[in-house]
Amino acid sequence: MSALNLVYYWTDEVLFWGLAGLRGWAVVDCATRKAAAFPAVDKLTKPAWLAILVVSGVLGVFLSPPVGIISLISVIVASVYLADVRPAVREISGGKGR
């Protein structure tokens, strides 16, 4: 295996597992938040966010390489949840999950 192939392989692995972790974090965080907090901050309901995150995560992990378009969309979905929805829900919940 040449050095360039080795660099490509490890870059691909790091991206795959890092992005899978990001998606997983979003799903677990959403699953542990109180359902009543989501509508209270004018966001989609908890089941809706959970379904969106799970479906996009499964599609991103199993149907796309780490830099594919489906994976990119999946990462954007998880990032929107973590950057927009999570802080709002966390604030209304007092920083805790259930």
- Express each pLDDT in 11-45 by its tens digit: 999 999 999 999 999 999 999 999 999 999 999 99
| pTM reported for the whole predicted model | 0.87
Coil, strand or helix: which one is 82? helix
For 90, the token pair is 């966390």
More confident residue, 71 or 96: 71
What Å distances lie between residue 10 and 7, 21, 27, 82, CA to CA?
5, 16, 26, 26
Asked whether 59 and 49 are in contact (CB, 8 A), the reply is no
Round to whole Å and give the CA distance between 35 and 24: 19
Q: How many C-beta atoms surround the C-beta of residue 73 within 10 A?
A: 14
What are the residue boundaries of the structural domains of the chain, listed by start? 15-93
